[in-house]
Structure 1
Amino acid sequence: MQEAAQTVLLVLVTLFPIVDPLGGSPFFLAQTSGYSPEARKKLSWRIAVNSFFLLVATYFIGTYVLAFFGISLPVVQVGGGLIVIATGWSLLKQKDDEKQDVQTTVQPQDPLRRAFYPLTLPLTVGPASISAALTLGANAAHHHAYHPVTILAALIGLVLIAISILLCYRFADRLAQILGQTGMTVITQLSSFLLVCIGVQITWNGIKALIESVTLHIG
């Protein structure tokens, strides 16, 4: 029982700060500025479900998939980091008139089309989250060989992460009402800049790991 509790706590402590659903709520609002509250509610539910299954797949089979295709984790970091940079940059460059155009052209059936990309991947579950989930899964497989108790504990931790995403995104509009339009604009712009910086850091981590591996082979 203690081992299961430790696994749940490890998943939460490792993934929650990286996924950061509270910090991602301004991005969610920025990307869904023209959606109705009902559409946003459905979208937040879909993102939470997508995030759960993506993290589960990454945790349990991610290392095997990468090994099968011969893809290293640094390569995933480089590619994912570039996507994060592009997403943050597009949010930074988004103008007010473009936001107005989105509000007038979005149709009720449109939101779910964007539920996985880019709202789940990479805005919610990005390269850093995937890297962390891969590491946790590889560590669990190495030490416990996926014991049923360990599997159940990991699933509980991932469910809790998904619930936190659902709650933060579901009530993101309440946060916007408290902060006001100016406050949300400031947070969104600042968060967009930080997202670009995070993408640069993730990309650099991957590049540095690749350089180090080349250096080791040459040495």
Structure 2
Amino acid sequence: MDLKPLITLLAIVNPLAIVPFFIHYTQGMTRAQRRRTVWISSCTAFAVIAACALAGLQILDFFGISLASFQVGGGMLLLMSSMAMLNAQPAEAKTTREEVHDAASRASIAVVPLTIPLLTGPATMSTVVIYAERAQTFWQHAALVGYGVVVALATALCFTLAVPIERALGKTGINVMTRLMGLILAALAVEVMAAGLQRLFPALGVPA
């Protein structure tokens, strides 16, 4: 079983880096409200990954986008995300201040901004679509959806243990973990871009 998609998804989603955001957005909530937020965030993260795995290619066909172009664009997005993570910023934290304040004023912040875009933003979606194209059998597609379950469980675990994790690792520890995941993601981004460029320019794959 190819675990590279799972490693890539865990590196991009990186729920550990979103723990401080979870604590911030759930301040003043009761324990039951926090549990509900954890459950909704985890289920939404799985739904996004599963939808991209099952219907992502059909969406590309609808818009007439070639997978090679999508791979290059997605790889660039992954590389940008890895650069942000190497600076100890969440890979998908691209919301504006206005969006954050608007989301914080809603009854539930589990979907926006915790899940989208902090957990599963454009980089996550493009990665799932790219790996979905490589899946040749039903079981490979099922494994990709299953990886969404693993990501959801990792998210639920990190959010449930948010306070102990922040206390144990501290800001420095979380930053170190984020940088390590960013380094792994940068290497995976180069592989994705290389595969797309070889499809667009076959001569690049011919040895000199």
Under a length normalisation based on structure 2, what TM-score does the superposition of the two structures give?
A: 0.63
163, 166, 170: which one pairs with 2:155?
166
Q: Does 1:84 align with 2:74?
A: no
The 8 Å contact of residues 77 and 203 in structure 1, kept in 2 or not, is answered as yes
Instruction: Work out which of the residue numbers 131, 138, 146 in structure 2 matches 1:157.
Output: 146
Please name the residue that 2:120 is paired with. Answer: 120
Q: 2:68 aligns with which of 56, 69, 74?
A: 74
- Are the equivalent residues in 2 in contact too, given 1:22–1:168 (CA < 8 A)? no
CA shift in 2, pair 1:193/1:17, >3 Å: closer
The structure-2 alpha-carbon separation of the partners of 1:185 and 1:154, relative to structure 1 and needing over 3 Å to count, comes to closer
- Residues 208/43 of structure 1: CA separation in 2 closer, same or farther (3 Å cut): farther
| 2:58 is aligned with 1:60 | no
Cα pair 2:88 2:176 within 8 Å, conserved: no
Question: Greater helix percent: which structure?
Answer: 1
1:204 and 2:179 are equivalent in the alignment? no
Give 1:189's aligned residue. 179
Pair 1:135–1:84, CA change in 2 (3 A): same
CA 1:41–1:213: 2 relative to 1, 3 Å: farther
Distance in 2 between the 1:169 and 1:193 partners? 21
User: Where does structure 2 lack aligned partners over 5 or more consecutive residues?
Assistant: 90-96
Greater Rg over alpha carbons, structure:
1
- Note the C-alpha offset of 1:195: 3.3
Identity %: 20
The alpha carbon displacement at 1:158 in A equals 6.0
**Is the partner of 2:25 in helix, strand or coil?**
coil
TM-score normalized with structure 1 length: 0.60
1:4 is matched with none
CA–CA distance in structure 1, aligned partners of residues 118 and 203 of structure 2: 31
The residue number in structure 1 matching 2:93 is none
Shift of the alpha carbon at 1:178? 2.4
Amino acid at match of 1:189: R
1:109 and 2:81 are equivalent in the alignment: no
Deviation at 1:76, TM superposition (A): 1.7
Alpha-carbon spacing, 1:15–1:85, altered in 2? closer, same or farther (3 Å): closer
| RMSD value, Cα | 4.2
In structure 1, C-alpha distance between the alignment counterparts of 2:11 and 2:153, rounded to whole Å: 7
By how many angstroms is 1:206 displaced? Answer: 1.7
Q: CA 1:20 to 1:119, structure 2 compared with 1: closer, same or farther past 3 Å? A: closer
Corresponding position of 1:98: none
> 1 CA distance for matches of 2:126 and 2:67?
10
| Structure 1 partner of 2:94 | none
Q: Offset at 1:157?
A: 3.1
- For residue 120 of structure 1, report the CA deviation from its aligned partner: 0.8
36-45 or 181-190, which moves further after superposition? 36-45
Question: In 1, Cα distance between the equivalents of 2:145 and 2:182?
Answer: 31
